Amino acid sequence: MRAVVRGETYLSSAVSKHVIEGYVRRANVPADPLERLTPRQREVLQLIAEGATTKEIARELKISPKTAETHRTQLMQELDIHDIAGLVRFAIRHGLVDSDT
């Protein structure tokens, strides 16, 4: 009560625990978004950027087309990119493929 009367912010121990956990989680996220991807996601991203279809990705990586689609969806969510063209631009900017591939 005294802190509030003085105009200070007061957080209960339960609330401050959640605030600190959220901060720590965000602080531990790699700055380079490419580092957040698994090796398999990077493979899928590279193949997408090279123009491979879902079926071609599945065949190349010996996975089902549904699994290839799932990897693509997870990539888009992780990178907050909403279309294939955006994934291709990301891959080029981060050196996964050449711009003339």
Give the pLDDT confidence of 70-80 residue by residue, as tens digits: 999 999 999 99
Please check whether residue 79 lies inside any domain of the structure: yes
- Report the share of the chain in percent with pLDDT over 70: 90
Q: Note the pTM of the prediction, 2 decimals.
A: 0.67
Please check whether residue 10 lies inside any domain of the structure: no
- Confirm if 81 and 75 have CB atoms less than 8 A apart: yes
Distance CA 12, CA 17 (A): 8
Please tell me the predicted confidence (pLDDT) of residue 31: 65
**Domains contained in the chain, number:** 1
CA 30-33-39 angle, to 5 degrees, is: 95
Nearest C-alpha neighbor of 71 from the set 60, 4, 11 = 60
Please check whether residue 38 lies inside any domain of the structure: yes
End-to-end CA distance of the chain: 64
Please check whether residue 67 lies inside any domain of the structure: yes
Please check whether residue 37 lies inside any domain of the structure: yes
Distance CA 45, CA 88 (A): 8
What range defines the domain where residue 77 resides? Answer: 33-93
